[in-house]
Chain A
């Protein structure tokens, strides 16, 4: 067994176990040590994963893809986890046994990583389940707060259904294609294997992945989790599983020949529905956390644009990767600000923030503008790449829909930015969480700007990223 190929995952796993043990034995006032231990593990894993950059092969009998897409996505997932970990200790310290929280976070990270690298349907199921089961726990971590438990419950119900549907789909695909291995499946599909049941199976798997992605038709959990899960968990759950699922879905779509199956139009329709629904629901939202949640749904729709044109243009994978990166940076920064302000969530409470907490206000404005796609922030380059890819892939109409959606989205972001910048603050200066949340927030804000300005270098790296098992022709 080429164990060396999954060293980053092993590092995360071992750290998670160590954190769990430490949480059991450490006294209550030292539970925060677990967070630092977890961060060290993530750092080691990041290092190991960085060493895999440039490799492009299947390993573990074709179950695990070690290619550009998976490596970059796993790096992003690890970085996301690091930010969520940084936000956590101050947030959950009132909980007596919060050491476990970090262990669960690490397991969830592992699940998302497994999704990103999956090159076999069974592996996809495994990743999705691991990431879901831990996700429910994270969402409902505030056990004594009804809303949090409700969010976790909704997440669980939607998730249980979606995962069941996915497993059914996998069974159908296995039955019709005779294999769960992506490489073999591609050969079969290339040879013209097609059956209604196979398509049905594919559709069901898409539903399962849409759940992880927060896309229509399994998106309903996203706003609830954003609103009521602990802020670090919300930041993590709206980003990390999405990255993993987007890559897994792209890999799956890539298996189908571009000319023979009408699955890309289906993804395009899902993309339109997702972005439109997310934006419409966010329009009059007065709860900032729910607003970010709905905006995350719409951002999934944009990500699906790149998935639609996978295989049709070489720009699809770089576009997907860069868009996810920009989205991750902006969303994490936004949640970090919310966390830094101790989770304040009423839109009116943000009035005058520019005067009372200028740094936090600036970062929130930056992250929202990046989500809109205002240059030269990271989100702009991401969207630009998406537009280029979709137009080049022959889906110009999709780009036009996305543009209309972007205009609509500006409206609700401005509904927060407006009072925040122009309003008058009431009461005293808002309370903040602590130094660590401040650091996370600053890192997020800085990366939005830096990623945008340094986009050239990164895109050059992403340009060569492969998506196995299909090799570029």
Chain B
């Protein structure tokens, strides 16, 4: 089931790429259908998922050999964390594919790359093999490189190049760390379950080095300050749906990686380094928020808030991994649940924000906040959607962001009170920056050249409503999601 949800989009991408006769509308329709299949399959897995405390951590497991001499195999399976993230991923991809985009006359290739990226992203969350994880980690770069380079605007080629080279440096650091970790286990294996159970690298300078390799790689991907410089150009120059995927899915690969690999497989070493990681996260929170405030460019502003939000996530993860044995288990569990919820919430919220930003570009070819104003009167639906998404983004209660950030900060207060206290400043700044942004976009005087600015229409309305409906649903009634995520975090915190 899981394997199919990885392979079907990739196969779909290949078919799209090599069928020259397909008309534009047909290609888009086919892509939407194919992109929806994984969500369907994953929902089936979800229905069968056992969240009771006695259930095994990883479920729906399947295995097939690939390179037996190295202990590499096609292993898939999910725990609560991976399932929650992959469900979000599958949904966001449907949204991105459905979103009407300017495909610059290369419609088939555009959708083919999206489907390819969907399969690859799901593969990353669903695999239980370290090397396959790396394979998908790298392939996600390739897919995104081509999407930014070919369908981006502005200086897209340079942005794509920077993105690829920068993040490949990170992923190669991860590769080395992966090899070192796998080699420390006898016999050589890349099976995540075995490595989590055996914790082969528990102490010593070597373990710290390996941890550093992982953190460097994931910090680039997440991104944490000071490794975030690839993010703004990549976001600004990418087409709207690709930005949504970049923020919503690809950034999560970094934080998911931290949870899945160093925190699970080297918990003792991770605990020793938890405080520096927390401090780095705090810097990202504050820096991301402050720099975002200074941006005049709509998309750049949203991009920097991603740095800020991923900072919350990493703060939660650092707090959760701060001790290994028993010791404020409840608080750590809370922090980790919050961090994972933040990943899901950020995916939905920022995904919609970037799609909306894409709508702005398609209508006016400008991201400059000064070029807009007073849109509330002529584009009420766009206004409502943006306001809701921004409110959710800075963590207004009863919306998804609040649920996540509340848990992160509550959990972190028990472990690192000072970090949590300072981190709260970040929420204050983001609230201010989003309010200013909403004000300058939708209120005040309408510039004359925007008099005919069209409102959201057709599929745009549907996509944004579904995403934002979930944001509200998670905000009001989060139990169904927390239950699923909790099954994963419980196993990690109490098992470790």
Contacts and interface: CB of A to CB of B under 8 A. Distances in A.
A399 B69 contact: no
B258 interface: no
Nearest to A463: B69
Contact of B161 (A380, A385, A392, A411): A411
A418 B162 CA distance: 12
B168 A388 contact: no
B140 to A, nearest CB: 11
Nearest to B158: A418
B179 A460 contact: no
Contact of A403 (B131, B165, B172): B172
Interface in A408-457: 410-411, 414, 418, 421-422, 455-456
Nearest to A459: B69
Contacts of A406: 168, 172
A460 B157 contact: no
A456 B65 contact: yes
Nearest to B173: A403
A414 B180 CA distance: 29
B70 A388 contact: yes
B161 A414 contact: yes
B156 interface: yes
Contacts, number: 82
A188 interface: no
Interface stretch (B142-150, B316-324, B338-346, B349-357): B142-150
Contact of A421 (B70, B72, B138, B146): B146
A376 interface: yes
B446 to A, nearest CB: 36
A414 B164 contact: yes
B416 interface: no
A90 B134 CA distance: 42
B138 A374 contact: yes
A338 B72 CA distance: 35
Interface string A369-385: 10010111000110011
Choose among B70, B145, B165, B176 the residue with the greatest number of A CB atoms under 10 Å from its CB: B70
Given A396-B180, A407-B169, A414-B161, A374 B69 contact: no
Nearest to B142: A374
A466 to B, nearest CB: 16
A391 interface: yes
Contacts of B164: 410, 414
Contacts of B135: 375-376, 380
B69 A318 contact: yes
B378 to A, nearest CB: 36
Nearest to A464: B69
Contact of A384 (B131, B150, B161, B183): B131
Contacts of A463: 69
B66 interface: yes
Given A318-B69, A381-B67, A411 B149 contact: no
Nearest to A381: B67
A387 interface: yes
Contacts of B68: 456, 460
B139 interface: yes
Secondary structure class of chain B's binding surface, majority of residues: helix
A387 B180 CA distance: 9
B175 interface: yes
Contacts of B139: 374-376
B149 A418 contact: yes
A396 B210 CA distance: 11
Contacts of B161: 411, 414, 418
B13 to A, nearest CB: 13
A396 B169 CA distance: 17
Contact of A375 (B138, B156, B183): B138
B67 A407 contact: no
B156 A422 contact: yes
Nearest to B161: A414
Nearest to B66: A456
Contact of A407 (B150, B168, B179): B168
A400 interface: yes
Contacts of B138: 374-375, 380
A455 B164 CA distance: 26
B142 A391 contact: no
B168 A410 contact: yes
B179 A387 contact: yes
B441 to A, nearest CB: 31
B183 A392 contact: yes
B142 A388 contact: no
A396 B175 CA distance: 12
A387 B175 contact: yes
B57 interface: no
Contact of B176 (A318, A385, A399, A456): A399
A326 to B, nearest CB: 13
Interface string B62-92: 0001111110100000000000000000000
Contacts of B169: 407
B492 interface: no
A301 to B, nearest CB: 16
A406 B70 CA distance: 22
Contacts of A460: 68-69
Nearest to A408: B165
A418 B175 contact: no
A385 B131 CA distance: 12
B212 to A, nearest CB: 12
A318 B69 CA distance: 10
A403 B213 CA distance: 12
A335 B322 CA distance: 53
Contacts of A411: 161, 165
A421 B165 CA distance: 17
A422 B159 CA distance: 13
Interface string B169-188: 10011011001100100001
Choose among A374, A385, A455 the residue with the greatest number of B CB atoms under 10 Å from its CB: A374
A422 B161 CA distance: 12
B65 A414 contact: no
Given A411-B165, A418-B149, A388 B157 contact: no
Nearest to A396: B180
B39 interface: no
B67 A459 contact: yes
B141 to A, nearest CB: 8
B271 interface: no
B469 to A, nearest CB: 37
A460 B69 CA distance: 6
A392 to B, nearest CB: 6
Contacts of A456: 65-69, 72
A455 B172 contact: no
Contact of A387 (B66, B67, B176, B188): B176
B157 A422 contact: yes
B160 interface: yes
Given A318-B69, A456-B66, A391 B172 contact: no
Contacts of A455: 66-67
B176 A369 contact: no
B165 A418 contact: no
A414 B165 contact: yes
8 interchain residue pairs of minimum CB distance: A375-B135, A456-B67, A403-B172, A407-B169, A422-B149, A459-B69, A463-B69, A422-B150
13 contacts: A374-B138, A375-B135, A376-B139, A387-B175, A403-B175, A407-B169, A410-B168, A411-B161, A414-B161, A418-B161, A421-B149, A422-B156, A456-B65
Given A387-B179, A421-B150, 5 more contacts: A385-B70, A399-B179, A406-B168, A418-B149, A459-B69
